[in-house]
């Protein structure tokens, strides 16, 4: 019996991600990607920055995310990274300073959505 509850498949991805929150840029490491979002590993400083802007309901704010898809079949001629507005779907503390964040894409251009889909298809076939 398959216990997978995710709507979309996730594939491993490596590289760096930049996150901009209220003009401050933090970085993290990419773990996996799906058509709906991305999972990253980050340090405590990013969580502290996000926490400063939590809503009264305890929700993290939407923020700008930028990352590159490796070995894309349709790599942008200018090498432009994928940009999206994201929100936090889950936050898991792994150690005192290391966290995993599950992020949902709130807005993703059609071109960038296609880059993500192409990457997922490419990795799934390999």
Q: CA 27 to CA 87: how far, in whole Å? A: 15
Q: Is the pLDDT of residue 43 over 50?
A: yes
pLDDT band at 10 (very low <50, low <70, confident <90, very high): confident
Q: CA 88 to CA 74: how far, in whole Å? A: 28
pLDDT tens-digit profile of 46-75? Answer: 999 999 999 999 889 999 999 998 755 444
% pLDDT > 70, the chain = 86
122 neighbors 73 (Cβ within 8 angstroms): yes
DSSP state of 96: S
- Distance, first Cα to last Cα, the chain: 25
Q: Is the pLDDT of residue 86 over 60?
A: yes
pTM across the whole model: 0.84
Q: Which residues pair with 21 in a beta bridge?
A: 24
> What are the C-alpha distances in Å from 18 to residues 2, 28, 65, 73, 109?
34, 7, 6, 23, 17
11 neighbors 124 (Cβ within 8 angstroms): yes
Residue 102: enclosing H or E segment and its boundaries? strand 98-108
Domains and CATH numbers, the chain: 11-125 (2.40.10.220)
Q: List, as one string, the DSSP characters of 5-41.
A: --SS--EE--SEEEEEETTEEEEEEEEEEETTEEEEE
């Amino acid at each position: 019996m398959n216990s997978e509850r995710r709507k979309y498949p996730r594939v491993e991805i490596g590289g760096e991600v930049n996150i901009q929150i209220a003009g401050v840029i933090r970085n993290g490491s990419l773990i996996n990607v799906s058509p709906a979002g991305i999972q990253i590993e980050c340090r405590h400083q990013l969580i502290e920055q996000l926490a400063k802007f939590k809503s009264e309901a305890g929700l993290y704010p939407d923020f700008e995310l930028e990352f590159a898809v490796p070995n894309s079949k349709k790599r942008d001629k200018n090498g432009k990274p994928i940009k999206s507005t994201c929100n936090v779907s889950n936050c898991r503390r792994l150690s005192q300073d290391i966290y995993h964040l599950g992020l949902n894409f709130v807005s993703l251009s059609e071109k960038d959505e296609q880059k993500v889909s192409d990457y997922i298809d490419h990795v799934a076939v390999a």
